[in-house]
């Protein structure tokens, strides 16, 4: 059951699919990836409107929606459009557009998704002051954009708009961004964004937002500074929809952000009620949510599968992309685990030169004694694709010797593993 007649939830309609399609549309229409060949002013289209971007987004959303609905129909899944709430631990009432309907089940999986977290003091108007679900409603392409919140979503949107030449100010209350990502990767991203004109206001808290008489959006900071722009995008996290479920009816409770605690099999404190996806918290990615849902359903019907969260890949669709799997340098250092690393820079790869993607690197962390791979981190074009080679090697507890001894197609970005492997092995005298 889904709250809207358009199946697919936030992933398909307001989150993953539209935001990542928007990114591809921006990179294509702006000519961003061709500028190393044709100059920094090169663009496929001189003036890019939100309508231009929306055309591609809407096309992809429509097609993906058809695919999801066809798959559900083919597998005999009954759909209910409406808002569900618990009546008892085995009964849900669904408020449909026509009339309430009751559904009973032996097992229940809560995967109710999220909505943008909001501050009641922010004057959202859907045109100049927006949350991330309202981005498509903006009055027009801003020349100056304020992004409040430098989590994954805020950084993604900020980096996308800088590729369009929009002047972006990114405000974050914490002194750093993306703390869970390898620090060298984050440094590379912030350098790229600063080169495109992004202003970072880190360690700064927004205390009020107002719209001036001239239509400009003014953000007042706790430090006394003022930041102004045409549009403000509020991207300070997300709130789950668990508050709509009447969880108290079944003796379940969520934390202030609406997250429901689960065990290693995604089972809540009520044995036959499970939860997966954003409603259980970090990492709250589309890919991990799908896997959690699959494992939860498998467990409820007696099929046991191993869950290995250490092998989950993380994809951050900034410009350039970031991806990672396994341990970070800061994590290994904190745990006093010795490590060495091998690096391949995109500037060394023939394929990246062909793509005009000379910014990027691949870093592989490994045990200097056993040579076992401990973590893989990447930034650059197609990083979210390239990472899966490292993920496979991690899954099979492979060593750096795999990269040394494997022949990769040439020229490819995958060749970066060969370069990084040889670099790392050379440091420990194992080439």
Q: 159 and 224: one domain?
A: yes
Claim: this prediction has a pTM higher than 0.85: yes
- The total number of structural domains that make up the chain: 3
Diameter of the chain by CA atoms? 72
Q: 326 and 296: one domain?
A: no
CA distance 216 to 228: 7
Inside any domain, residue 392 = yes
Inside any domain, residue 283 = yes
Q: 264 and 340: one domain?
A: no
Q: Write out pLDDT tens, residues 276-315.
A: 999 999 888 889 999 999 999 999 999 988 888 889 999 9
CATH number of the domain enclosing 415? 3.30.390.30
Among the listed ranges 26-35, 56-65, 408-417, which one has the minimum average pLDDT value?
26-35
Domain that holds residue 251: 80-115+239-310
Q: 337 and 389: one domain?
A: yes
The answer to whether residue 1 scores a pLDDT higher than 80 is no
Burial class (CB in 10 A: 0-12, 13-18, 19+), 308: exposed
Inside any domain, residue 348 = yes
Inside any domain, residue 122 = yes
CATH number of the domain enclosing 161? 3.50.50.60
Q: Per-residue pLDDT averaged across 255-275, rounded? A: 93
pLDDT confidence of residue 422? 98
Q: Angle of helix 383-395 relative to helix 416-427, nearest 10 degrees?
A: 50
Q: Write out pLDDT tens, residues 84-110.
A: 999 999 999 998 888 889 999 999 999
Count other Cβ atoms within 10 Å, centred on residue 284.
19
Q: 144 and 197: one domain?
A: yes
Q: 224 and 243: one domain?
A: no
pLDDT confidence of residue 137? 77
Residue 270 parent element (H or E)? none
Mean pLDDT computed over every residue of the chain: 92
Q: What sign results for the dihedral spanned by CA atoms 192, 182, 349, 395?
A: negative
Tokens linked to 309: 């969260």
Q: Write out pLDDT tens, residues 340-377.
A: 999 999 999 999 999 988 889 999 999 999 999 999 99
Q: Per-residue pLDDT averaged across 210-234, rounded? A: 96
Q: 373 and 278: one domain?
A: no
- Closest listed residue to residue 346, CA positions, set 422, 412, 427, 423: 412
The answer to whether residue 3 scores a pLDDT higher than 80 is no
Q: 109 and 173: one domain?
A: no
Q: Among residues 310, 332, 357, which one ends one of the domains?
A: 310
CA distance 258 to 74: 33
Q: 207 and 226: one domain?
A: yes
The answer to whether residue 6 scores a pLDDT higher than 70 is no
Q: Among residues 310, 337, 353, which one ends one of the domains?
A: 310
Inside any domain, residue 407 = yes
The answer to whether residue 46 scores a pLDDT higher than 80 is no
Residue 84: which residues within 8 A CB-CB, separation 6 or more?
1, 3, 92, 93, 94, 95, 103, 244, 245
Inside any domain, residue 8 = no
Q: Write out pLDDT tens, residues 183-203.
A: 999 999 999 999 999 999 999
Q: 137 and 210: one domain?
A: yes
Q: What sign results for the dihedral spanned by CA atoms 312, 317, 318, 321?
A: positive
Q: 101 and 244: one domain?
A: yes
Inside any domain, residue 59 = no
Inside any domain, residue 288 = yes
DSSP string, 312-358: --EEE--SS-EEEEE--HHHHHHTT---EEEEEEGGG-HHHHHHT--
Q: 326 and 409: one domain?
A: yes
pLDDT confidence of residue 5? 62
Helical residues (DSSP H) of 1-100, grouped into ranges:
9-13, 16-30, 35-38, 50-74
């Amino acid at each position: 059951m889904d709250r809207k007649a358009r199946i697919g939830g936030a992933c398909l309609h307001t989150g993953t699919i539209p935001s990542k399609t928007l990114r591809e549309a921006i990179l294509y229409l702006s000519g961003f990836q061709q500028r190393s060949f044709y100059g920094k002013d090169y663009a496929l289209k001189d003036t890019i409107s939100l309508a231009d971007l929306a055309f591609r987004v809407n096309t992809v959303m429509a097609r993906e929606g058809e695919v999801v609905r066809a798959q559900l129909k083919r597998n005999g899944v009954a759909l209910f459009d409406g808002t569900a709430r618990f009546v008892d631990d085995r009964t849900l009432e669904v408020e449909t557009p026509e009339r309430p309907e009751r559904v009973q089940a032996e097992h229940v999986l809560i995967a109710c998704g999220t909505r943008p977290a909001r501050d009641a003091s922010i004057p959202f108007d859907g045109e100049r002051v927006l949350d991330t679900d309202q981005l498509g409603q903006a009055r027009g392409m801003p020349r100056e954009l304020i992004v409040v919140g430098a989590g994954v979503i805020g950084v993604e949107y900020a980096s996308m708009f800088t590729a369009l030449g929009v002047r972006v100010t990114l405000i974050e209350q914490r002194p750093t961004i993306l703390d869970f990502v390898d620090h060298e990767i984050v440094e590379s991203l912030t350098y790229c964004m600063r080169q495109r004109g992004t202003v970072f206001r880190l360690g700064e808290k927004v205390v009020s937002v107002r719209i001036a008489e001239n239509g400009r959006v003014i953000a007042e900071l706790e430090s006394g500074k003022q930041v102004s722009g045409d549009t403000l995008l509020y991207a300070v996290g997300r709130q789950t929809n668990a508050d709509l479920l009447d969880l108290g009816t079944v003796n379940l409770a969520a934390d202030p952000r609406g997250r429901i605690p689960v065990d290693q099999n995604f089972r809540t404190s009520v044995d036959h009620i499970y939860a997966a996806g954003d409603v259980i918290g970090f990492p709250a990615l589309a890919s991990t949510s799908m896997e959690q849902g699959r494992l939860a359903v498998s467990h409820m019907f007696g099929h046991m599968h191993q869950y290995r969260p250490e092998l989950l890949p993380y994809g951050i669709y900034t410009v350039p992309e970031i991806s990672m799997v396994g341990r970070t340098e800061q994590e290994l250092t904190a745990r006093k685990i010795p490590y060495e690393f091998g690096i391949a820079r995109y500037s060394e790869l023939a394929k990246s030169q062909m793509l005009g993607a000379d910014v990027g690197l691949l870093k592989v962390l490994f045990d200097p004694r056993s040579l076992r791979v401990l973590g893989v981190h990447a930034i650059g074009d197609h990083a979210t694709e390239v990472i899966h080679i490292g993920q496979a090697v991690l899954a099979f507890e492979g060593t750096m010797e795999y990269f040394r001894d494997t022949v990769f197609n040439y020229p490819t970005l995958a060749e970066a593993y060969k370069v990084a492997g040889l670099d790392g092995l050379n440091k420990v005298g194992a080439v």
